[in-house]
Amino acid sequence: MMKKIYLLFFITLIFSCSSSDDESSKYYIELNNSTSRVSFNQITLPGYVFSPTNQQQTFTLDKGMSGGLNDVRVTLSGKCTVGNSNVSRDVFVNFLEDQPTIVLSISRVVTCSPEIVVSYK
């Protein structure tokens, strides 16, 4: 009976020490805004708030992904040069182990509505 208890304790210890989120797996968000009409000053997603200092920048998600890896809402907020109006757009992304960088590309803006293309690398 004691051997079974020790074995159960050992197995529990092994599984509790191993993590389902591999901490060596890092993910990245890359902003690639080639327009001048909209300038983004904040990128938010669960557990993270980034303040871009330029429109071509990569951010490291090094605190894990508390909300999971699928259908993650990423919000880009900023200003439009037309009337200095506020702009906020949501995109939903999936984080992939074999392509850890999510690229948010903006190459076209209609009035103050940026078209955000999500790609992976």
Q: What average pLDDT does the segment 94-107 reach? A: 96
pLDDT band (50, 70, 90) for residue 13: very low
Q: What pLDDT was estimated at residue 20?
A: 44
Q: What is the tens place of the pLDDT at every residue in 57-83?
A: 999 999 988 889 999 999 999 999 999
pLDDT greater than 80 at residue 16 = no
C-alpha torsion sign, points 22, 121, 38, 53: positive
Mean pLDDT of 15-36: 72
3-class DSSP state for residue 13? helix
Q: How many CB atoms lie within 10 A of CB 51?
A: 12
Mean pLDDT of 33-54: 97
CB atoms within 10 A of CB 97: 9
Check residue 3 and give its pLDDT: 52
The half-sphere exposure of 11 on its side-chain side, counting CA atoms within 13 A, is: 6
Computed over its alpha carbons, how large is the radius of gyration of the chain?
Answer: 20
